[in-house]
Amino acid sequence: MARQTLVPIEEYLRTSYDPDVDYVDGALEVRNLGEFEHALLQAKITAWLDAQCLSKRLFAVTEARVQVAPSRFRVPDICLTRGWPKGGVITEPPLLCIEILSPEDRLGRVEARIRDFLDFLVPAVWVIDAVQRRAWSYTKAGVEEAAGLTLTAGEVSLPLQTIFASIDSMR
């Protein structure tokens, strides 16, 4: 097993990584992303949420650091937050975190991210598989696959079938 160098929180917070990385108990964890379909789906979902949520003073942001525990920072693909975070890092539970799966994602790592968000009291975590065209909503009550590809969390809904059709029409 490879030895991992631990990084102090202060160094993580003052360093820009490209792409950004998660920070888990001193270890840096690389996130899988960068594929065109992943990036396009992320942009389309963010635009949809922006259009739906700005009048509600909700902000859909991509790849923002969320401090889920004293020594853990996760960087969800998209999160929906109420208000502007102090200091540039989100330290209050977002209303929603969204993870878009990449082909290289492994179940154990995705589950650990979901657990961190739910333990931080994020009400809902959506996981979207762009390739298989499936989606799930995770809450403290459990997990549910999105019927008809529509995800709902509180006052926000996302018709993924519309987003996917929009992407398909661009091919």
Reported as a single tens digit per residue, the pLDDT across 65-90 is: 999 999 999 999 999 998 888 888 99
In this prediction, residue 1 carries a pLDDT of: 47
Overall number of domains in the chain = 1
Would 70 be classed as within a structural domain? yes
CA distance 49 to 58: 9
Residue 153 has pLDDT above 50, yes or no: yes
Instruction: Tell me the per-residue pLDDT of 91-142, one tens digit each, with 9 for 90 and over.
Output: 999 999 999 998 777 888 899 999 999 999 999 999 999 888 999 999 999 9
Q: What is the pLDDT of residues 21-57, one digit of tens each?
A: 999 999 999 887 768 888 899 999 999 999 988 778 8
Q: What is the CATH number of the domain that holds 142?
A: 3.90.1570.10
| Strand bridging mode 125-129 / 96-101 | parallel
pLDDT of residue 169: 92
- Would residue 2 count as lying in a domain? no
Helices (H), the chain: 9-14, 36-53, 107-119, 160-168
Does residue 56 belong to any structural domain of this protein?
yes
In a domain? residue 60 = yes
* Residue-level pLDDT at 31: 84
Q: Look at strands 150-153 and 142-145 and give their pairing.
A: unpaired
Structure tokens at 15: 């360093």
pLDDT score for 108:
85
Is 94 part of any domain? yes
* Domain extent at residue 152: 34-168
- The answer to whether residue 141 is domain-embedded is yes
The verdict on residue 103 lying in a domain is: yes
